[in-house]
Amino acid sequence: MRGRDLGFRLGTGAFALVLIVIVVAIGVELTRQSMLSIQKFGLTFWQTTTWDPVAGDFGALPFIWGTLYSSVLALLLAAPVSLGIAVFISELCPAAFKQPLIFLTELLAAIPSIVYGLWGIFVLVPAVRQLQVLTPDWLRQVPLFSGPPLGVGMLSAGLILAVMVIPFTSSVAREVLRSVPVSQREGAYALGATRFEAIRAALFYARTGIIGAIMLGFGRALGETMAVTMVIGNTPRISTSLYAPQYTMAAVLANEFTEADTELYTHALIEIGLVLFIITLIINVLSRMLIWSMARSAKPRTQPAARPAAAVA
């Protein structure tokens, strides 16, 4: 019996090891394949704004900016909506609507991103352009809303990303809320809490898991490619405006990799992949640290309780 136990542990351990090996291998391979660009540009690759394949001059800053801007925008738009969906389904929804609603959010997650992109081009972008045309002049003076009404641009990208992220974030948040023990809510009610207060208590209880759900959505937004490239306008220029066409790292890879004809060009593109990899890594580490610190600060009061939520995250 014990031998089988050991075998099982070693076996699953080996699978877990595969994960580490894959992550390290990706990092090593991306570095190896982008050596020319790393040697030529060094750290300035992260700081310069020119992307000129003809002259062989490459800088990644506009792509880094566009990726972070669009993902944060998507996060700001998607997080409240996702939380609302999750709370409604798990706490307030009449039983008859529960399954259909769950089914619909999961259906949204199953739609291929190219389909979102087409919907973006034909429905979302014209609607956003209309919104831009209707923007009053005084508002246009604000840097956030400046620029000609193109339709394509940061706002369209943020909106489409938000729609794509909502099913993931809301599904995980819903599961996290479901894992909150009934005793928590019963306790709240026993103390005379209203429904709203009981839900607030459940949300507080599940907060690490909810942060995890939001970060999962953020990760997805960082790497999303097809739908974004179809609506963002693909212009490597840093701008704070929601109306300005911009560019993301994943989009430039998808757009230019197949036609990259010089070695330096290919290496610069792979280095963009490396930069995206590093940024994703940093963001994941930061969100983990956030969750840990939250879980730790909650320990004295609700030590055993923090576990199920953190496990989902």
Question: How many amino acids of this chain bind other proteins (CB under 8 A)?
Answer: 32
Q: How far is the CB of 188 from other proteins (least distance, A)?
A: 52
Closest to other proteins by CB, 167 vs 273, is 273
Distance CA 152, CA 184 (A): 47
- 102 near other proteins (CB under 8 A): no
User: Residue 201 or 272: which CB sits closer to other proteins?
Assistant: 272
Say how many CA atoms lie within 13 Å of 301 toward its Cβ: 7
- Cα distance between residue 264 and residue 143, in whole Å: 36
238 interacts with other proteins by CB under 8 A: no
Nearer to other proteins, 194 or 262 (CB): 262
Question: Please, is 100 exposed, middle or buried when counting C-beta atoms within 10 Å of its C-beta (0-12, 13-18, 19+)?
Answer: exposed
Q: Which position among 8, 16, 52, 293 is part of the footprint of other proteins (CB under 8 A)? A: 52
Task: Between 217 and 245, name the residue whose CB sits nearer to other proteins.
Answer: 245
Could you identify the residue written with the tokens 């923090």? Answer: 306
Asked whether position 111 contacts other proteins by CB under 8 A, the answer is: no
Burial of 296 (0-12, 13-18, 19+ CB in 10 A): exposed
Least Cβ distance, residue 252 to other proteins (angstroms): 8
Cβ 154 vs Cβ 73: under 8 Å: yes
Helix, strand, or coil here: 52? Answer: strand
CB of 145 to other proteins, least distance (A): 17
What is the amino acid identity at position 250?
A
- 233 is a site residue for other proteins (CB under 8 A): yes
Interface residues toward other proteins, by CB under 8 A = 50-55, 121-122, 125-126, 129, 148, 150-153, 229-230, 233-235, 245, 247, 251, 254-261
